[in-house]
Amino acid sequence: MTQPINTWFVEHLGDCDIHSIWLNDHRPEHMPCLEIRRLDWAHAACEARRLGMRLVALWGAEAGCHDRDAHAMYAYMAFAHPEHRHTLLRTPLAAENPELPSISGHYIAACRMERHMQDMFGIHITDIPDPRPWIKHEHWPREAYPLRVDFDARPPLLAEAHGDYDYVRSGSEGVYEIPVGPVHAGIIEPGHFRFLAVGEHILNMEERLGYVHKGIERAMQSKSAEEGLKVASRISGDSTVAHAWAFAQACEYAGQIDVPRRASFIRAILCERERIANHIGDIGAVCNDAAFAFMLHQMHRLREDMARLHLELFGHRLLMNTLIPGGVLVDLGERAIGLLREQTLAIANEVEHLRAIYADHPSIQGRVIGSGMVPVEDAQDIGLLGYVGRASGHYPDERIEEAYAPYDELEVNVPQGKLGDVATRVWVRFEEIAESSRLISELLEKMPEGPIVANWLPPEPGVSGFAAIEGWRGEIAAWVRFGEGGQIDRCFVRDPSVINWLGLELAVREVPVPDFPLNNKSFNCSYSGNDL
């Protein structure tokens, strides 16, 4: 990693009388993790906002082996800036009745993460604008806090219905509600959407998620890095490479393991292939939702070609189980390199060809142009990530901001959209397919010789690491802390969907109800990644 230590934010905090202490057991070392006082929490968020920083994530953890007060609980927040590396702040909370002020007033995306902390740890977030439970549905016992040490995680929670979720309502005449889900019409993940509509138009759409909550954060605990990686690969099955990479990199940073360059090249090739495959699938699905089935079948044909080559070269159609702590499992020989180069190029060419047909088809263009707009200011306010952000004038990209290997040697071109409608989101995806294909060719070209895995040695107890990887949906943030015997004692992951789901709610206001599916597909947020 070439970037210098981010002292910039620390100095600013000092300038506004926010006292901070450097935590030394946090890695990577050039990414500061600072402890601040609890009374400065909201103030620090306010300053970060003023400095134009982006909120990456917010999470809680009980004290680890190194923490002074073994009974304290901690709240963490991570920030990013286009010109500086990420910075983490944390603050101690009382073990009894932990409380924390809300930062949702400064960062709207914080609210659901605060609700998650409230559900999982019982941390009371004072003045939170939306105090409703998030992951904990009505039948959960009220006092069950699954991420607390004293919670017995073994038996499933017993059903004990109490009350209903308090959806946003409208008392106005002529406004009707459409409840959709959790079991959706198509073959997609479950979640609930509550529409308020007037005539054909959506007035408000509210998301209720958490249906596929699988206790992933808890399941990670007391696993080795190798075992944890298997779970991380399944946080969201369509982003298996990106999630595995984020988790592995957080572990490797913690353990100060240098991943061989050849391994990081292979990781990047896998990740870019995953990006192409998902964009291809989604473009087809968006068109299909506007009854342009031709595109779906053409795109799915290409996706299948990719899956088959993945099976042949890496042993898995979706590329699961290809990463291991310290490197990758499968090396690429001459033949594999040739096949990958050839197929990636062929697919990119086919996509360009199909793109011309798509652009030349007024019936699909009429549906996508101008539908579901997210204005630039809103995208920045929310901090929208990936292609959703890039369609709306907000362009964070970890391949550039964090410039982790191998992207420190490559130039990544990020498509810069502005209009923020379905058409622009699709345009960004077409552009990204072309760019990823170019990157893959370059990676294959420049592939260094050498080993594909470094010896993995777990770090000392108490050490933690943080990584941010640009998956196909956008930035995935992972934080891992190790306990005794090389076991994970806390792992937090923030899928980009946690943030991008908010964009969908905003985009579909005033959209006709029948255009919702195509908007939804143009975002294609993950339910599983959100719910953990």
Partner 1 sequence: MLGILRQITRIGTITEPLAASDQFKVMGKRLESVIRNHFAGSLTIRAVDAGSCNGCELEIHATNNAYYDIERFGIHFTASPRFADMLLVTGPVSVNMRKALEMTYNATSDPKLVVAMGDCAVNCGVFGRDNYAIAGAVSDIIPVDVVIHGCPPTPTDIIRGILAAAEMR
Residues tagged in the binding site annotation for Mg(2+): 217, 493
Q: How far is the CB of 329 from partner 1 (least distance, A)?
A: 15
CB-CB contact of 518 with 282 (8 Å): no
CA distances from 114 to 76, 122, 154, 299, 412 (A): 11, 10, 25, 39, 33
CB-CB contact of 503 with 523 (8 Å): yes
Single residue of 153, 339, 400, 447 touching partner 1 by CB under 8 A = 153
Q: How far is the CB of 231 from ligand SF4 (least distance, A)?
A: 9
Residue 153 touches which member of partner 1, ligand SF4, none, C-beta under 5-8 Å by kind: partner 1
Angle subtended by helix axes 261-289 and 334-359, to nearest 10: 30
How many Å apart are CA 11 and CA 159, to the nearest integer?
Answer: 50
When asked if residue 528 is in the footprint of partner 1 (CB under 8 A), the reply is: yes
Beta bridge partners of 46: none
When asked if residue 234 is in the footprint of partner 1 (CB under 8 A), the reply is: yes
Q: Following DSSP, what letter does each residue of 32-44 receive, concatenated?
A: -EEEE-GGGHHHH
Residue 187 touches which member of partner 1, ligand SF4, none, C-beta under 5-8 Å by kind: partner 1
Residue 418 touches which member of partner 1, ligand SF4, none, C-beta under 5-8 Å by kind: none
Chain positions 465 to 524 lying near partner 1, rule: CB under 8 A, are none
Single residue of 356, 445, 455, 485 touching partner 1 by CB under 8 A = 356
CB-CB contact of 47 with 102 (8 Å): no
Q: Which amino acid makes up residue 475?
A: E
Residue 212 touches which member of partner 1, ligand SF4, none, C-beta under 5-8 Å by kind: partner 1
Residue 157 touches which member of ligand SF4, partner 1, none, C-beta under 5-8 Å by kind: partner 1
Rg (CA), the chain: 23
Of 120 and 128, nearer to partner 1 (C-beta) is 120
Residue 201 touches which member of partner 1, ligand SF4, none, C-beta under 5-8 Å by kind: none
Single residue of 49, 131, 133, 151 touching partner 1 by CB under 8 A = 151
Q: How many CA atoms lie within 13 A of 96 on its CB side?
A: 0
Q: How far is the CB of 244 from ligand SF4 (least distance, A)?
A: 13
CB-CB contact of 491 with 228 (8 Å): yes
Of 9 and 472, nearer to partner 1 (C-beta) is 472
- Number of chain residues interacting with partner 1 (CB under 8 A): 61
Of 309 and 318, nearer to ligand SF4 (C-beta) is 318
Options 32-40, 89-97, 154-162, 474-482: segment touching partner 1 (CB under 8 A): 154-162
Binding residues: 217, 493
φ, ψ for residue 407, nearest 5 deg? -70, -10
Of 78 and 330, nearer to partner 1 (C-beta) is 330
Q: Which residue has the tokens 């998030």?
A: 134
Compute the Cα dihedral for 129, 135, 140, 142 and give only its sign.
Answer: negative
Single residue of 46, 212, 369, 513 touching partner 1 by CB under 8 A = 212
**Token couple for 224:** 């080795």
Closest listed residue to residue 437, CA positions, set 274, 243, 241: 274
Q: In this structure, how many other beta carbons lie within 10 angstroms of the beta carbon of residue 238?
A: 21
Of 212 and 337, nearer to ligand SF4 (C-beta) is 212
- Number of chain residues interacting with ligand SF4 (CB under 6 A): 2
Q: How far is the CB of 245 from ligand SF4 (least distance, A)?
A: 17
Quick one: three-class SS letters along 375-437?
CHHHHHHHCCCHHHHHCCCCCCCHHHHCCCCCHHHCCCCCCCCCCCCHHHHHHHHHHHHHHHH
Chain positions 266 to 325 lying near partner 1, rule: CB under 8 A, are 281, 294, 297-298, 300-301, 303-304, 307, 317-318, 320
Q: How far is the CB of 320 from partner 1 (least distance, A)?
A: 7
CB-CB contact of 62 with 146 (8 Å): no
Nearest residue to ligand SF4, using CB?
234
When asked if residue 180 is in the footprint of partner 1 (CB under 8 A), the reply is: no
Q: How far is the CB of 313 from partner 1 (least distance, A)?
A: 16
Residue 25 touches which member of partner 1, ligand SF4, none, C-beta under 5-8 Å by kind: none
Options 44-52, 125-133, 149-157, 503-511: segment touching partner 1 (CB under 8 A): 149-157
Single residue of 105, 182, 190, 237 touching ligand SF4 by CB under 6 A = 237
CB-CB contact of 301 with 350 (8 Å): no
CB-CB contact of 326 with 455 (8 Å): yes
**Token couple for 445:** 């070209």
Of 237 and 415, nearer to ligand SF4 (C-beta) is 237
What is the DSSP-derived secondary structure letter of residue 372? S
φ, ψ for residue 80, nearest 5 deg? -130, 160
How many Å apart are CA 156 and CA 210, to the nearest integer?
Answer: 16
Single residue of 66, 201, 211, 369 touching partner 1 by CB under 8 A = 211
Q: Which residue has the tokens 């901001």?
A: 401
Exposed, middle or buried: residue 130 (CB in 10 Å: 0-12, 13-18, 19+)? middle
Of 124 and 234, nearer to ligand SF4 (C-beta) is 234
CB-CB contact of 517 with 184 (8 Å): no
CB-CB contact of 48 with 9 (8 Å): yes
Single residue of 50, 214, 418, 446 touching partner 1 by CB under 8 A = 214
Single residue of 38, 106, 124, 234 touching ligand SF4 by CB under 6 A = 234
Binding site for partner 1 (CB under 8 A): 135, 137, 139-140, 144, 146, 151-157, 159, 182-183, 185-190, 210-216, 218-219, 230-231, 234-238, 240, 281, 294, 297-298, 300-301, 303-304, 307, 317-318, 320, 353-354, 356-357, 360-361, 526-528, 531
Binding site for ligand SF4 (CB under 6 A): 234, 237
